Amino acid sequence: MTPRMPQTEACIQGAIIQALRLLGYTVLMTSRNRRRCYRCGAYSNAGDGCDRGIPDLLVSLGDGRWLGLEVKGPKTRLSTEQTILATDRRIIVVRSVEDALQAVSQACPASPAGRAMILDGYEQTYTAERPIPQGNVEA
């Protein structure tokens, strides 16, 4: 039986951060900081210093380049700003740990560090000699 994958954006983002950091990547989280009004109890993003459309995660590729990953849940829609940035290939939209690992490996295919990918509940390590497979893979 395959373990159930996290479905909320927060769970997916946490799993992506953990996986990339375990592989040695520097990951910065840029998610907006929500504040609660002390008078009415409503949440607000106002004044947090983040521009609309900024990706949730910035991943250092180790060669001076950074990759912007926008984490979305299985059914979550992109904002107008995120759609424009994704269309222009300025950010990559990911909906799972596997999507994030694939995006990073495509952005930096010659990375000397091994990659780990979870397939059917088993962890397998991939290196430059044995790259991450594309498409459906049988373990």
Going by C-alpha positions, the residue among 50, 53, 56, 57 that lies closest to residue 25 is 57
Report the CATH number of the 9-110 domain: 3.40.1350.10
Q: What tokens appear for 34 in the block? A: 């929500």
Closest CA to 93 of 108, 71, 74: 71
Using a cut of 0.85, tell me whether the model's pTM lies above it: no
Q: Residue 47 is which amino acid? A: G
**35-63: pLDDT as tens digits:** 666 777 766 655 566 777 889 999 998 88
End-to-end CA distance of the chain: 14
Quote the mean pLDDT of the chain: 75
Where do the domains of the chain lie?
9-110
Write out pLDDT tens, residues 97-134.
999 999 998 887 665 344 444 333 334 444 444 444 44
